[in-house]
Structure 1
């Protein structure tokens, strides 16, 4: 790796596979637009704006320099939100980013405030924004760990809009521009995410691939790489592709339990039912080094005794994933059904029985 800082994350399990200086403060350049896009997608989801809405760009878009990435929108000339979104994501247009920010935030400073609030909400503790497009500023910074976390939110929270990142080109005003993410052309499993470059930040890239998970028909495994501060575009492409392949070739991701899979049916006291089906509400995965899959052993630890009433989704214990006597991961186990209280007589009888069980 020639990057200043980098990280490789298995998005499916949420685990960091490898990293170099993941918490070092770095300049994000146009990776900033991942957060800008995220807030625009929130506005679309909440129907505060719509893709077919017409926007009249303000005078601020005239200030975008000739050496900056542009969609080539014009101040005062109507343009759709659709074209602004595609211009911001595929062409990395600073002018499109500014127009969208002013639409949603009322002004660029107003939108930047929303960006910093969102960063706090996501737990991005080492990130601070001062602009919407990623131009260099001493107080505009982040880390590759925070970029990976933000990118994971983007992928998981807005799958319908995330697909735009895989588009290889976009034409606006008869000007066709290619997606600057060269990995889209080199690896068919790559479907995102964002490039960035300034003289100060170097060449940056968030890349992610989705490939079939062995042993889990119909399930794909996603690996994400972040590199910043690369010396050349070629270096960021080579290091990013190597990072993704490293994640797939040196680690396996396993589904420990499927969504709503019954893990156990322990005894319930003082309830209308004598047993409770417990498990997890969504697929639960773990990533391990190659060759360790057969050593994985889930261990269930219950909060006993389980006493009704118990609501569907109520936490009842944990599963610790062990291998060679070491704990690799831990996740909560919940009730998969409601168990209401029994009658007064039933509760009294179980209360008596519990006295002897506890002894």
Structure 2
């Protein structure tokens, strides 16, 4: 290739990268003060993919807190649940798990079959559960969010925004901190299978505490990542990545810029960050899985080469794995007690909050369902 043609190709890739790299939503939030440290298209509606399961988990936590079920409630995979598209466990219809084990598998493996089974168990049906998801979204003020299913398989009418995902993550953190270990676990052992998380920050970026990844062609590769270092807690959201490398490295870069002070408060809190309701969600299928994918990935790599072969990476730490062992209860019938008692053990999670704490309005100005009954939001006091 001549030098002229090579320079022309580089210029084209640069233009392509400017057209899309800067359009993808990214958000960096201080979780203690709720300050927005960086925001890019944070109110743009976007398909959530498996980040949907964060809301599925939240709704389940609420129902446990209300006393409608327990962590030992059996979750049985229906034919509909077992027939969901991957990612999934591939357990046969009729297989049973405790709700606790099902939650771990849903969050860590991002298993669509188990997510549907949880929805049917908690909501009585998929539709009943989705109604609870949208009710919770309305109470949280997620004005750019709408759900049609509990697992994130693509539906044009299922969408959210980086801003709304940040608020949802903050509600999980404040209202149900006892369940945060689910989001920080990187592998669930189920029989001989190791069900691994796609969040590589958990094992290669020190201080990572969670939370979730997601992917469908229409969304690209999405991530919500939370990190704690030296007493500071930051959250990065990256939507529409062209690859897991790009998504993970961009999230790590945002976090490091926040810790270093390279980005500081924008003067906004995440709760007052504007959404763009009514704007259609971006559809990334052509760029991620279609005819434009090769050129799009090349443009993204040229614009952001971190983590590519021969390039530096932010993901160089060695973090001890955090695993959880789940039990396949075998095939059980609905309405029948668990076939064998679980062994006595010390509770991993704190006692759930009271039903009264989650029965009222969960809008930020009022007390949320937290174990410490702290109001939401709770800014960190200024240093003297």
Q: TM-score range by the shorter chain?
A: 0.5 to 0.7
Tell whether the 8 Å contact from 1:3 to 1:227 is kept in structure 2 after alignment: no
What TM-score does the superposition give when structure 2 sets the normalisation length? 0.63
2:112 counterpart of 1:94: yes
Shift of 1:80: 1.4
Deviation (angstroms), 1:286: 6.3
Q: Does 1:242 align with 2:262?
A: no
- Which residue number in structure 1 is paired with residue 282 of structure 2? none
- Deviation of 1:69 (Å): 1.0
1:1-359 matches, within 5 Å, as 4-65=24-85, 68-212=86-230, 220-250=231-261, 284-285=379-380
Any stretches of 5+ residues in structure 2 without a counterpart?
1-20, 266-373
Q: Would the aligned equivalents of 1:70 and 1:93 in 2 still touch at CA under 8 Å? A: yes
Q: Which has the larger radius of gyration?
A: 1
Contact 2:27 2:39 (8 Å CA) reproduced = yes
Query: Over aligned residues, Cα RMSD in angstroms?
Result: 2.1
CA distance in structure 1 between the aligned counterparts of 2:33 and 2:102, rounded to whole angstroms: 33
CA distance in 2, matches of 1:55, 1:28: 25
CA drift at 1:283:
6.6
Is contact 2:30–2:233 with CA below 8 Å preserved after alignment? Answer: yes
CA contact (8 A) 2:221 2:241 kept: yes
Q: Per-residue displacement from partner, 1:330-351 (whole Å, max 9, x unpaired)?
A: xxxxxxxxxxxxxxxxxxxxxx
* 1:285 match: secondary structure: coil
Deviation for aligned residue 1:188: 2.5
Provide the C-alpha distance between the structure 2 equivalents of 1:82 and 1:58, rounded to a whole number of angstroms. Answer: 18
Alignment partners' CA distance in 2, 1:148 and 1:103: 27
Contact 1:102 1:111 in 2 (8 A): yes
- The answer (yes or no) to whether the contact 1:3–1:231 under 8 Å persists in 2 is no
Distance 2:68 2:258 in 1: 39
Any runs of at least 4 consecutive aligned residues in structure 1 with deviations exceeding 3 A, and if so which?
280-284
| Per-residue Cα deviation, 1:251-295 (whole angstroms, up to 9, x for no partner) | 679xxxxxxxxxxxxxxxxxxxxxxxxxx99974269xxxxx8xx
Q: Aligned residue for 2:351?
A: none
Confirm or deny: 8 A CA contact 2:37 2:264 kept in the other structure.
Answer: no
- Given that residues 71 and 172 in structure 1 are in contact (C-alpha distance below 8 angstroms), is that contact kept between their aligned partners in structure 2? no
By relative contact order (CA 8 Å, sep 6+), the higher-ranking structure is: 2
Q: Alignment partner of 1:33: what SS? A: helix
In 1, Cα distance between the equivalents of 2:35 and 2:379? 12
1:59 CA displacement: 1.4
1:81–1:100 CA contact under 8 A, matched in 2:
yes
Shift in CA distance, 156/75, structure 1 to aligned 2, threshold 3 Å: same
Is contact 1:83-1:172 (8 Å) kept?
no
Counterpart CA distance in 2 for 1:226 and 1:195 is 10
Contact 2:32 2:378 in 1 (8 A): no
